[in-house]
Structure 1
Amino acid sequence: MDVEAIDHANLHIPEDGVEAAVAFYRDGLGLDVENLDLFESGEKPFFSVRLAPTHVVHVQPDPEFEPPSGANFDHLALTVSTDFESLKAELDAAGIEVDRELEPLGATGTNPAVYVTDPFGYTLELKVD
């Protein structure tokens, strides 16, 4: 088997968390939110956040949502095309607090990264490309 890429990941959020998800991922991080109209009309049980041309996160409200813990989720790592100081400035301007800064080893090597937490407790590693 030759895996080419991750197509999508699924994140569950509280049933009343749609507005907070859109505010964080679209308004805060500047990512496109897709299929919100299909979700709102009941045609799909989730909507999507476009991470890159061929990568999305499906966001599904769940009445039994439990915030992630270290036992069931650590983080989602994303590479970003910007310099480190610009990344931090963008997050600051959007009112998104940086939890920590590291230079972690990942699939593309070791590069500076910041870690932020979404409104539901999911950690995102934003790693400079």
Structure 2
Amino acid sequence: MNETSRPPFSLVGLDHVVLLVTDMEIAMRFYQEVLGCQPGFSYPQFGMEQVWCGNALIVLQDYTKPEGKWARPPVEGGRNLDHVCIALSPFDHDAMRAHLKAHDVEIVEEALHGGARGMGNSFYVLDPFGNKLELKGPPVY
């Protein structure tokens, strides 16, 4: 790679991810009660709410409201994202399973996968709108 093709910046990390939702009340309840996200910035004029996920934001965009129609996907129900990986602190696997079950959240997959922090244990779940989330613990090696 030559010097002229290098980016004029360095990467810092994930800042935010925008997820399309169809019911903001259900979305906010899931992200706050199930995942423990904290309320972030609110942009009702755009049909948008943000929640803090550690030091990054998850932006919830309700495209069914007049204010959010600008974000409507070209194909209703079409995928615009495979999954978002959320880095977690150490957790007890049985407690995680019990917590998700208590909120009627099905575990789609449990796995040991690599990521930015190394190989760690992951739980894959779907939010109420079908967005796949990888809940990933710290590296085990």
Shorter-normalised TM range: 0.7 to 0.9
Gaps of 5+ in 2: 1-8, 65-71
Structure 1 residue corresponding to 2:126, chosen from 113, 117, 120:
117
Task: Kindly state the Cα deviation for residue 119 of structure 1 after the two structures are TM-superposed.
Answer: 1.1
Q: What is the CA RMSD across the aligned residues, in angstroms?
A: 1.8
Residue 49 (structure 1) aligns with = 51
Residue 83 (structure 1) aligns with = 92
1:83-109 Cα deviation digits (max 9, x unpaired) = 333222221222211111111111111
TM-score under structure 2 normalisation?
0.75
Alignment of 1:1-129 (within 5 A): 1-14=9-22, 17-36=23-42, 38-39=43-44, 42=45, 44-52=46-54, 54-63=55-64, 64-65=72-73, 66-69=76-79, 72-81=80-89, 82-129=91-138
Q: Which has the higher contact order (CA 8 A, sep 6+)?
A: 1
1:9-44 Cα deviation digits (max 9, x unpaired) = 111222xx11110121112222112334x52xx3x5
Q: What code does the residue aligned with 1:62 have? A: Y
Task: Kindly state the Cα deviation for residue 68 of structure 1 after the two structures are TM-superposed.
Answer: 4.6
- Separation (CA, whole Å) in 2 of partners of 1:115 and 1:4: 25
- Separation (CA, whole Å) in 2 of partners of 1:27 and 1:55: 17
1:49-83 Cα deviation digits (max 9, x unpaired) = 1101x2001111113353353xx321000111123
Larger radius of gyration: 2
